[in-house]
Structure 1
Amino acid sequence: MSITQKIKDIENELSRTQKNKRTEYHIGLLKGKLARYRAQLVDQIAKSGGGASGASFEVAKSGDARVALVGFPSVGKSSLLNLLTDSESAIAQYEFTTLTCVPGFLTLHGARIQILDLPGIIRGASAGKGRGRQVIATARSADLIVMVLDAGGHPKQKEYLTAELETMGIRVNRQKPNIGLRVKTSGGVQINSTVPLTQLTPELIKHLIHDYKIFHCELLFHEDAAPEDLIDIIELHFRPSSRQYLRCMYVYNKIDITSMEELNELAHQEHTAVISCELKLNLDNFVRQLWNELGLVRVYTKTRGADPDFVEGLVMFQGATVNDVCLQIHRNLPSIVKHVLVWGRSAKYNPQQVGLTHQIEDEDVIEVVKRITAD
């Protein structure tokens, strides 16, 4: 039996199994098996040497950030790319018009954002149907996935697409589970938790751990984890690249053919924008939200006694530190920094003297003071 068939069988069994106290352990075991088979599927694709069913589209990553447009056929991905960039992706009234990856660039607040129009995927994409594996493999390289949906389409389209991404190891709008794992050579399985565990029992935890041939380890749970969360941590231990935790923005197109009640319900969902490519409705709001979902910040530099350079700013991701900024200026700069002066939102007062670990915020201005070194 193929891995994809095993995955399908377990998914069917999970859908048929009623959730109650008596079935919790069985469901946990099924989820563990499902996670392992999905991991094996990703490995199998990677080891195939990038055959037509598994390789990503060969598009060099460029610009300050990369956005991948993912969705079913004929939902408006190509139309959206054409409206946002100077690229021309073919548009027609039939499915699978786009057969390869079409890149374009959007300049926004001084940032150059690469947008990839990917072929439409269908249910079963992760199992090799269509060019789905190539699409998903390319999406793994993105900083943000924009899931383009049909506002009048199937009510479970978002759920189906998310499941295809999950199968290939992509976790959208989720953080890495806060579980500590330290593998040892003796002592058995030691389980500690800072919160009550309602979805995992010691018996189930040991079963899942032993399935990976781990018999001695320390586990520390900082959250109420599910079986699949523990499996993710184990997979990351053995294969750090097996899981990708990516931001995802949901964009409902064709709002011009939906009712006001449906439109209002969609517009209030988290990480969601509503647009009409045909009538060019709400595109400005979409672009503003795209910037926020990417989590980009602009940093401007200045030299002593001079005004800041507000033309050639640096574009970084939220959470970046002064050290990251210095590295972007020059790889050796952090080694000769004496201190840094910061003006802006991250400063308690202007200017504030900070170290390399200081976290920057949008539109901060920094001045790097170098150490005086002898020649």
Structure 2
Amino acid sequence: MIGTPNARPPRRGFTLIELLVVIAIIAVLIGLLLPAVQKVREAAARMKCSNNLKQWALACHNYQSSNNTFPRLHNDARRVGWMVAVLPFTEQEAINNLIRQGGTAASVDGTTAFAAGPADAWNTNYRPWMQDMSIRVCPSDPQAGQGGGTTYFTRNSSYRASLGDYSGDFGRTDYQPNFRGAFREERGLTFADFTDGTSNTLLLGEVAICAAGDTQNAKTSLCLNASTPAGALAAVDTANRRKLRNPGADWSGRRWNDAIPVYSGFHSATAPNTPSCLGWGSSDTNAPLLSLGSYHSGGAMVALGDGSVRFLADSIDAGNGTIAIWDLKSGKSPYGVIGAMGTVQGGETESFGG
């Protein structure tokens, strides 16, 4: 038998079917791996968020140690908020030094000279107000990386002070705020004021930051002309529960340095991730009802009066949602467990666990 000299055995490549099977297996493996990676990433972000909130809570406690009271909202003519007051206790020396020293270095344009001490909270030419601080934002929030500019929409913060279950209007003498939470306009509280117990009382909490111009996001924007939790819920579009029926305000998570409640606080009248609203009008002083919120699954982070940090679930009892947030000024909260946790002196026995 005559063979072919130097003949090589034929090479066998992948058939189309085999190639498709391999691709399908790889796709399945990637599909199984991605959720695990996302879970690990979110767990890390949630831990970072918890650490951030812990730092702010400890800063409030260190402020109390130095001043014998917790910080107040600091609502004066310049509207400089509580976060600015506790800056010396958050290792933000550079920003705090700029505030103390003033001069041209404290201005964004580099030419305007500021006096020592904080400028008006709305002054966007004041460099300390425009500085990034990683501890101000939750890494899970899509807006967390949007800081660093010179506009109104770049001074983001995920963390707010607990105002309790009562709201009011800074522009009207007949509806002045009578906050029942850990932060007040008129004075800072002492440990003796926490008669419901610091371990049962909210101190700080997380809010979801609203994207600039996103005025119909049910999680982050404020609906207009709703004075009760039920009214805020009714403002949600029934065809799309992520959207408000009408445009509202995109102030959530803005102006970290501003003392006005819509920028500096939250109320304990609603469960986390429920809509926020303004009682009337469209001014940032108009009796806001401000909910906790986050991009963590199922709830939001909070710090209690004893400095501990917990996760507050969306399913927490929020009591009677038909009562206007400016109707109750004393006694137990009508807003269930979260209302009881928000009041400092409400006489409630509810603990964090309900």
Fold shared by both chains (TM-score > 0.5): no
Which of the pair has the greater relative contact order for Cα pairs under 8 Å at 6+ separation?
2
TM-score of the pair, normalised by structure 2 = 0.25
TM-score of the pair, normalised by structure 1 = 0.24
